[in-house]
Amino acid sequence: MRRFILFGFLPLSLLLFACSEQRPPSLRESQELIVLTREGPTTFAHDDSSPPAGFEHDLVQLFAEELALPARFVVVRNDKQITKKLKAGKAHFGAAWLTTPSDPGLVAGPSYFMSSNVIAQNEDTLPIETPDDLVGKPVQVLAGSRQAGVLRELQKRFPDIQISERKGTTELGLLQRIAVQRGESALVDSAVLDIASNFYPELRYALTLGTDTPIVWVFPAAADPELLQRAGSFIERIRADGTLARLTDRYFGHVERLKQADIVTFVERIRTVLPQYRVHFQAAQATTGIDWRLLAALAYQESHWDPLATSPTGVRGMMMLTEDTADRLRVSNRLDAQQSIRAGSQYFSDLRDNLPASVPEPDRTWMAIAAYNLGMGHLNGARHFAPGLKKDPDSWYEMKTVLPLLARPEYYQRLKSGKARGGEAVITAENVRMYYDILSRHEAPYRPFAESRMGNGTPETARSGPGIRR
C-alpha cells in the first residue's frame, strides 16, 4: 500500500537561506514556471508518437495551471545536475522523483508519494538478503543518482561492496541489463522496480536499504516563499479532493495486477505469436487512428491472440465478437484473424467516440474497454447512477468502484440494461492497461508515413490514442 504525507515546511529563516546561490525569479516576476526533471518511468517521458507524459509531468502541469503560468520542463541527465542548476537559480524547482535534500542550499517542498530504495537482481542469482550478501559483488547504479549516494554511505560500513555507476542509460535500461545478465544487481527506486518488473519478469525484489522516504519537489533555499506556500496548498488541496489519488492510479494503479507467470507468457507470445498478426493491427491503426499496440493489448486480453477462440456465450475470434456485431461490421468469418481485428478495432473506436465529450483521456479509453467487455448500455447505466453515489461518471478511477455494483440487485433492477459483471469489466480494462504498457516497451510505434515526410522535416506520426498516459 502506497502512503502519502504532506511535508511540514521549514522555518522561514531556512527558506530564505541563500548562501552564495543565485535567487530564482519570484512568482510575481515569472512569466513561466521553470521545472527541472529527468526522463524516467515515474517522471517524464516523451517520444515522437505522443505528447510528454509522466506522473511528475502531469503533477507539475496541474500546479502550473493553478498558478496560471505555462510550465517549461528542462530535462537533465541526473540528480546532481538538478542540484547544481537549482543552486544557480536556473529553475523554480526540481520534480524528478527526489527525496528531502541534505544540501543546505536546497529545501524540500510538499511530499506526495512514499517510496524506498531496493536492490533488484536476476531471479537466477543467489538471493541478497542482508548487506553482507553484497560484499564482493558489483552493484549497478545510475551515475549521479540518489541511489549512488546511498550505496556510498553503505560502503563506509561494508568497504568491499563494489559500486558500478552507469552513465548514458536510464533506470529501465539499467534494470534491463540486470534482467539479461545473471550475477549482477542494481539499486533502484521501488516504484521504478514495480513498473520494470512487468517488462522484465526475470527481475526479483531483494534487499530494501533504509525505510520508506517521502518523494518531494525540491526548491532552492532562496526560493520565493510565496511559491513554496502555493505548492504546499496545492498538494494539500489535490489530496483532499481526490485528484492526487486519481493521478497516482493513472500511473501506478495497475502495475501489480498481473502475476509473474502471466507476464512471462505474454512476453514470450510477443516474440512468437504477435509477428504474424502485427500487420493487421497496424492496418487497424491506419483506419482508426488508435495505437496498434493498444489494439493488440485488447486482443490479447480477449483471446490471447487465438483467432479460433470461442467462449461459452458465443463470442468468437481474435477480438471475441458477438454475431450481431460481426454482422453489423460486415464480417463474414469471425475466425478469420484479419477480419476480426479490423472489425473489433472499429467497434472499439466507435465505443470510444460515442462516449460524452466530457470524458477526458485516458479515462475515455479505459471506459471504452469496459464497454467493449460489458456493452455500452451497461456502462451508461453505471454512469447514470454514479452521481447518486457521489462518484464522477467521467472519471475511470471512480467508475472502477461503481461498475462492480451492476451485479447487485439493488442497482441493476433500476436499469433497463439489467444485471452485468461490472467487476469483470474493470479487470479487463486494468489488464489491457498493463499489456499496453508492456507492448509499448517491447514494440515500436507504427508511423507509416514518417519516411515520406522526412524530406520536409515534418515526419508524420500516428495518432496513438489521444492523451493516453501510462
Which residues are catalytically annotated? 302
Residues sharing a CB contact under 8 Å with residue 416, sequence separation 6 or more, in sequence order: 377, 381
Q: Which residues pair with 213 in a beta bridge?
A: 115
Are 23 and 87 in contact, with CB atoms under 8 Å apart? no
3-class secondary-structure state, position 362: coil
Q: Which residues pair with 185 in a beta bridge?
A: 121, 139
3-class secondary-structure state, position 181: coil
Specify the amino acid at residue 298.
L
3-class secondary-structure state, position 332: coil
Could you give the CA distance from residue 235 to residue 39 in angstroms, rounded to a whole number? 22
Could you give the CA distance from residue 137 to residue 164 in angstroms, rounded to a whole number? 10
User: At what angle are helices 225-240 and 55-67 packed, to 10 degrees?
Assistant: 110
Residue 275, all three cell numbers: 509477428
Could you give the CA distance from residue 218 to residue 351 in angstroms, rounded to a whole number? 43
Are 179 and 202 in contact, with CB atoms under 8 Å apart? yes
What does DSSP assign to residue 447? Answer: -
**Rounded (5°) CA angle 28-30-36:** 130
